[in-house]
Amino acid sequence: MIKGLYQFKPSKIIEVSKIGLFLVCLLPLGLLGRDVWLEFQQPGSALGTDPAVQVVHILGNWAIRFLLITLCCASLSRRVRVVRLVRYRRMLGLFAFAYALLHFTAYYLLLAEAQWALVSADFVKRPYITMGMSALFLLIPLSITSTAGWQRRLRKKWKKLHRLVYAIGILAVVHVAWLAKSSYLDASLYAFCLLILLSERIIMKDKGRAKRPGFARMSEK
């Protein structure tokens, strides 16, 4: 199957698949948009008793999922060389940022009543919000420097900078865990994924030192 695909120009395949992936990444937003629209038509029809919280939660969940998928991408591409998953990493990472930004915007508009005073009070007083907002804040430099230009300009520093994504992952998981009242199901699932990805990263780092050229390849854009 994969061999068959390689009869086409690889760049063409990547281009087409990137468009496909882009649309898939928009799907959760589309579904949410449909629910919001239904909610406008008939309150209570799509988003339950507390639609504001529902919207904020859905966006937040997808933000953390996309973050973990992005991390998976880097890890997997180190293992499976045939498919250059790393080529989709930037788009997935930017989607994580987009969903996180929408998550915050929804919180700001629907829960904090568009009052910065409430947001800053939450930031100072509620540790889980401090964690979440820090994660979002740290995603900003990563998103800005995600372009090929910045990657060239920063060279080795780029990789160092983008390792921040692991710290962001930890902040995001803590954000979810501290939000939980009694069930740690979501937090446990996310933490489990993050743990696997982090340990894989650490193990590969050791191996990478031993086998430098192979390790370098994964940083191709």
Among 21, 91, 110, 177, binds another protein (CB under 8 A): 110
Determine whether 27 is exposed, middle or buried from the number of CB atoms within 10 Å of its CB (0-12, 13-18, 19+).
exposed
* Neighbouring C-beta atoms of residue 214, cutoff 10 Å: 13
Is residue 182 close enough to count as binding another protein by CB under 8 A?
yes
Are the C-beta atoms of 168 and 215 separated by less than 8 Å? Answer: no
Is residue 189 close enough to count as binding another protein by CB under 8 A?
yes
**CA 141 centroid distance within chain:** 14
Query: Residue 78 contacts by C-beta under 8 Å, 6 or more apart in sequence?
Result: 200, 204, 218
Is residue 60 close enough to count as binding another protein by CB under 8 A?
no
Q: Which two tokens stand for residue 39?
A: 């909610």
State which of positions 29-48 bind another protein (CB under 8 A): 31, 35-36, 38-40, 43-48
Determine whether 111 is exposed, middle or buried from the number of CB atoms within 10 Å of its CB (0-12, 13-18, 19+).
middle
Nearest 5°: CA angle at 32, between 26 and 35?
Answer: 145
Among 136, 165, 173, 193, binds another protein (CB under 8 A): 193
Q: Which is nearer to another protein, 61 or 145 (CB)?
A: 61
**Binding-residue pattern over the window 12 to 31 for another protein, x denoting contact by CB under 8 A:** ----------------x--x
Among 25, 51, 86, 103, binds another protein (CB under 8 A): 51
Q: Which is nearer to another protein, 151 or 188 (CB)?
A: 188
Choose the binding region for another protein from 12-20, 79-87, 125-133, 211-219 (rule: CB under 8 A).
Answer: 125-133
Is residue 179 close enough to count as binding another protein by CB under 8 A?
yes
Q: How far is Cα 128 from Cα 134, in angstroms, rounded to an integer?
A: 10
Give the interface with another protein as residue ranges (CB under 8 A): 28, 31, 35-36, 38-40, 43-53, 55, 58, 61-62, 65-66, 68-69, 110-111, 113, 121, 125-128, 178-179, 181-185, 188-190, 193
